[in-house]
């Protein structure tokens, strides 16, 4: 039995839904994410907020890492999560905070 890679739900789903993965690979990232109307940093903040508000915790770690790679600081992510508590609900914000803490603690422990 193969191990599911929950650090990247898209990769975990690739074998079961190759057409969906192809759509994401050929449309979402090369076209939507590269549209100059929004910076990658802004897209990351919007995506993280949407995932938190929508309760999509399984997608959050990969997008939190992407957000940092796109220039969003840990402090900005923390402030966004706190802000979202009033719009998405405290349970969503608390869950997102725990996931962010685990994601960044795990990422920091992997660095030399």
Determine the average pLDDT of the residues in 56-67: 95
* Better pLDDT: 66 or 111: 66
What's phi and psi for 62, nearest 5 deg? -65, -40
User: How do the domains of the chain map onto residue ranges?
Assistant: 1-37, 38-110
Residue 6 pLDDT exceeds 60 = no
What CATH homologous superfamily does 38-110 map to? AhpD-like (1.20.1290.10)
**3-class secondary structure for the chain?**
CCCCCCCCHHHHHHCCCHHHHHHHHHHHHHHHCCCCCCCHHHHHHHHHHHHHHHCCHHHHHHHHHHHHHCCCCHHHHHHHHHHHHHHHCHHHHHHHHHHHHHHHHHHHHHCC
In tens, the pLDDT along 21-51 reads: 888 888 877 888 889 999 999 999 999 999 9
């Amino acid at each position: 039995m193969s191990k599911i890679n929950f650090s990247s739900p898209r990769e975990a789903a690739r074998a079961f839904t190759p057409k969906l993965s192809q759509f994401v690979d050929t449309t979402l990232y090369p076209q939507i994410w590269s549209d100059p109307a929004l910076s990658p940093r802004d897209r990351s903040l919007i995506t993280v907020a949407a995932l938190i508000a929508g309760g999509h915790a399984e997608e959050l770690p990969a997008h939190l890492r992407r957000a940092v790679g796109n220039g969003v600081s840990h402090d900005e992510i923390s402030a966004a999560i706190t802000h979202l508590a009033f719009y998405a609900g405290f349970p969503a914000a608390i869950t997102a905070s725990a996931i962010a803490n685990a994601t960044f603690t795990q990422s920091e422990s992997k660095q030399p």
